A and B are shown apart, each in its own frame.
Chain A
């Protein structure tokens, strides 16, 4: 396995309901801590990639430029990247490509999602503020129907999944139960209390068949990562983690494809197949993975599309204990999007930071013993596009 680039410094905020300070305060905090984690100084950085300050919110016009000016950071490459839920990994890929090309040696990636309009005490206000964004997001032919969030699409996907494969509501409710067992070991997770299947099924019905406790929680957060050239990564940090493979595929659809299926995701299949082939491994060679399952049923369909089990068998794979500690591959040791929390604009880097910590062997109570190979999956739309990274640590 050849290293494309290496992760030498990481930092993240806790999962917030909203930022405790300004965007700039939070950005400077994670940048400073990522540099410290790498043992580098600000001027060791030679390129900068940032996300918008939130997905679908107020403009982030020239944010990378103003941030670099504020930092007094000269760069050889600088850009702002947006690709829905995949924003953070597309930003990371921009850094990886810059390093692979040889133009940059140490790239800083900053991603964030401040969700300033998300006040849980004022849902009407939130909807008022987001009506134009939501309408435009779903487009000229679906936006006019007044979707307030993407959950109806995922609900119909879950309904078809149950219909086509005979998966029961109880089967799906096992997902948040497992996720809470994992998140109990993560001090920053949004939800850490244990859950039962009956509690999940007794929670509020959101869009049938999706219950409240099967949803990922909108959240805020920020992350910064320092990516270095493989030749010098180990002189920066002995336990640098290598990105050894990358797969990416975008189906030409936005939420529901005109033709095809909504119970299996071609983008995840193709991105995983490409990345695993490049790494020269099968899915069961992985020790740990963080995947972008934003609802419980979606998580199961993702296990299948990524190749961990056969179509329709995600719940069986989970129930048999194969998706957790002592099984085949530990899925989402953070508790995933459902229990850990989901600041969409930065979620993929939160996933990558967890895999980095696992492969460094510093994941404390949630450490997967001997973790050497990990996967990060991210997506946009309703899995219309996916990126899969394979990462390798010293224990591989």
Chain B
């Protein structure tokens, strides 16, 4: 299954990605967790875009996302297309940005809504690094 999801991910990023997604995944490979922020209205968004989704300005800059956030919700998939069991999935609330889906590197039973989590970089292959979160 890993080869298939890697191939599907490559195809998807090539066909449905854009300059912002290519930059985002390049930055993850380099151990940087960033998204775009509007230079005109100041909105910090996720996912990154080549324009501001609020005021539609094209003047955006890359800025570090908070490296810590709060666990907003979490669950576990029985049959992941990517990760071996246990595949814990969570929504992390990053202050000033919003809710971000990620892989959570901790057993489900150990987690609680509201706990602090910190970003980690998960090398999947030579071409793909994903962000993940683990309890602080």
A residues with CB within 8 A of B: 123, 127-128, 131-132, 134-136, 139-148, 151-152, 155-157, 159-160, 163, 206-210, 252, 256-259, 262
Contacts and interface: CB of A to CB of B under 8 A. Distances in A.
Interface in B78-102: 78-83, 87, 89-91, 97-99, 101-102
B58 interface: no
* 7 nearest A-B pairs in the assembled complex, by CB-CB distance: A146-B82, A156-B73, A258-B98, A146-B81, A155-B75, A135-B8, A132-B8
A330 to B, nearest CB: 32
Nearest to B73: A156
Contact of B16 (A136, A146, A258): A136
B11 A145 contact: no
Contacts of B13: 140, 144
11 contacts: A127-B81, A132-B8, A135-B5, A135-B9, A136-B12, A139-B16, A142-B101, A143-B9, A146-B5, A152-B89, A155-B75
B47 interface: yes
B80 A148 contact: yes
Interface in B29-61: 45-47, 53
B83 A146 contact: yes
B77 A140 contact: no
B8 A131 contact: yes
A144 B130 contact: yes
B134 interface: no
Contact of A152 (B17, B75, B98, B130): B75
A188 B4 CA distance: 37
Contact of A163 (B5, B75, B83, B113): B113
Given A152-B89, A159-B113, A207 B77 contact: yes
Given A127-B1, A127-B81, A208-B108, 12 more contacts: A131-B4, A131-B8, A131-B81, A132-B12, A135-B5, A144-B124, A144-B130, A145-B89, A146-B82, A147-B77, A156-B75, A159-B113
Interface residues of B, number: 43
A148 B101 contact: no
Interface of B: 1, 4-5, 8-9, 11-13, 16-17, 21, 24, 45-47, 53, 72-83, 87, 89-91, 97-99, 101-103, 108, 113, 124, 128, 130
**Most chain A C-beta atoms within 10 Å of own C-beta, residue among B11, B80, B81:** B81
A145 B75 contact: no
Contacts of B5: 131, 135, 144, 146
Contacts of B108: 208
Contacts of A132: 8, 11-12
Contacts of B97: 258
A148 B87 CA distance: 11
Nearest to A252: B53
Contacts of A209: 75
B51 to A, nearest CB: 14
A257 B77 CA distance: 21
